[in-house]
Amino acid sequence: NIVHGDIKPDNLLVTSSGTVKIGDFSVSQVFEDDNDELRRSPGTPVFTAPECCLGLTYHGKAADTWALGVTLYCMVLGQYPFLGETLQDTYDKIVNNPLSIPEGTDLQLKELLEGILCKDPEHRLTLEAVSGHPWVVDEEGPIPQYLCFCKSKSFHEEPKESISNAYMTSID
């Protein structure tokens, strides 16, 4: 029973085999039982669940699920679902603005995002429901396409001479 508390793209790592792992457990909390009630939200503001923005006691797992939804939205649609000019404006949008999903978005993805980013934590999809959602598990779904894209990006070490030359060129 771990609540991460700061799920966001910056804290996700992808292995060479395409497995996604979560990093940075600096604000996480471990619970002995199923009671994951918290009072303080330590995470990154734009990934904060509505109930946390309101300063209410909240369930950490539901807040982590919300942050996962914001992360998915960012990764697939290329923008934050709720972003204001100031911290308070961002919180106001998270709490009050309806979720906007662009026309033409895959219907299964739209359904998944609406379920994960449900403002009412009692009706928000659970992580178990997310992991079994058709958009995530179907062979024909978009996830394998994205994994193929990730796997096709090979990370290799540049020869030290190239790095030195690039550095020397940049200071000339």
Contacts 24+ apart (CB under 8 A), 136-141: 136/112, 138/108, 141/108
Q: At a CB cut-off of 8 Å and minimum separation 6, what does 57 contact? A: 37, 38, 39
Alpha carbons 79 and 106: distance in angstroms, whole number = 17
Contact 95, 119 (CB under 8 A): yes
Q: Is 164 left (phi over 0), alpha (psi -120 to 50) or beta?
A: alpha
24 is catalytic: no
To which residue do tokens 């303080």 refer?
40
Out of 6, 33, 89, 120, the active site residue is 6
Give the phi and the psi of residue 100 in degrees, each rounded to 5: -110, 120
Contact 124, 65 (CB under 8 A): yes
Closest CA to 125 of 133, 117, 134, 116: 116
Known catalytic residues are: 6
